[in-house]
Amino acid sequence: MKFLDQAKIYVRSGDGGAGCVSFRREKFIEFGGPDGGDGGRGGDVIIECVNGLNTLIDYRFKQHFKAKTGVHGMGKNRTGANGADVVLKVPVGTQVLDEDEETLLADLTEVGQRIVLAKGGNGGFGNAYFKTSTNQAPRRANPGQEGEERWIWLRLKLIADAGLVGLPNAGKSTFLAAVSAAKPKIADYPFTTLHPNLGVVGVDGREFVMADIPGLIEGAHEGVGLGDRFLGHVERCRVLLHLVDGTCEHAGEAYKVVRRELEAYGGGLTDKPEIVALSKADALSPELRKEQLARLKRAAKQTPIALSSLSREAIEDTLRRLLAVIDEAKQQEAAEAMPKVAEEAWRP
């Protein structure tokens, strides 16, 4: 399945049905009076967050979605049926933006969330509605209200607990394949990963979700390489694992390149907790490993982990550190979500 994380679609709700002008015509009833029914309500356009989807590929080949028009009113005080709604199903983590791509209309982060994007028009009143003591035979009825229409953007931001960042060929996909059942494409050339990958990682009987995004290079925020578009998929992560290729010329400089791109992108990525690791440690001599670790420590201002996805060196330790940061972030989020109760002084 092709991965698609952005789509532009057109939605239009249904028009309301028109009211009916009708009079009761029956034998032996001389003055039957008005009996025109009201029109039915137009259908809504609803977006719903569902489980089992991980891409917006459904909106690649169909971009126009229109709800049904309400049925017109009929005689004998019969109200028209309401128009059928259109329900757009999207994966968890989908954002709905206005046509300007800046105004956020909805952020769907939980399964079952439903948002009305375009409300259907009300049905028009039939002539029975306008009957009064002074106007007992009205010959007027309202047309139905028009529905709403708009262009919107759907943007998917994957929801994961931990995110992998780094330069191309830093070993991110290899690490994800080593710690989860995910099978990302792995090769010995840059930009092997062309779209984000998710994997469920297990350690000490517990699990969390990890996201791997395509590598960044210098100037990614200006569109160089694959750009920084995929960084949106790690905006929701609680912790970042920054992998630096141990076989590169200077580990410290490689680290700074990615950090500059994260800072240029924004989105609060530079404020997230970060664990730094020197990957491909099994391919380094003891002297080179010590030198690269020292360079990386000076640049990151923290002690990096030397790990190898091939020999599984320090893999378990890295996962435990990630899990500890995730647990701490969850506890902080739970504490902030609890309602603050004002403490009142006790009085007898």
Q: Looking at residue 93, what DSSP letter applies? A: T
The CA distances from residue 316 to 169, 207, 297, in Å, are: 22, 13, 21
205 annotated ligand binder = no
Is residue 192 a known part of a binding site? Answer: yes
23 is in an annotated binding site: no
Instruction: Please indicate if the annotation marks 279 as binding a ligand.
Output: yes
Does the annotation flag 214 for ligand binding?
A: yes
194 is in an annotated binding site: yes
Residues sharing a CB contact under 8 Å with residue 218, sequence separation 6 or more, in sequence order: 224, 257, 260, 261
56 assigned to a ligand binding site = no
The answer to the question of whether 173 is labelled as a binding residue is: yes
The verdict on whether residue 176 carries a ligand-binding annotation is no
User: Is 98 within any annotated ligand binding site?
Assistant: no
Q: Is 166 annotated as a binding residue?
A: yes
212 is in an annotated binding site: yes
180 labelled ligand-binding: no
- Nearest in space to 168 (alpha carbons), one of 249, 243, 252, 250: 243
The reply to whether 38 sits in an annotated binding site is no
Helix axes 172-179, 315-337, angle to 10 degrees: 80
For residue 169, say whether it is annotated as part of any ligand binding site: yes
Annotated ligand binding at 13? The verdict is no
What is each CA distance from 24 to 36, 115, 132, in whole angstroms?
Answer: 9, 42, 16
- Cβ of 203: how many Cβ atoms within 10 Å? 16
Question: Does 195 count as an annotated binding residue?
Answer: yes
64 marked as binding residue: no
Contact (Cβ atoms closer than 8 angstroms) between residue 191 and residue 181: no
282 is in an annotated binding site: yes
> Do the Cβ atoms of 43 and 10 come closer than 8 Å?
no
Q: Is 309 annotated as a binding residue?
A: yes
Q: Give the residue ranges of the annotated binding site.
A: 166-173, 191-195, 212-215, 279-282, 308-310
Binding residues for Mg(2+), as ranges, are: 173, 193
**Which residue ranges are tagged as binding site for GTP?**
166-173, 191-195, 212-215, 279-282, 308-310
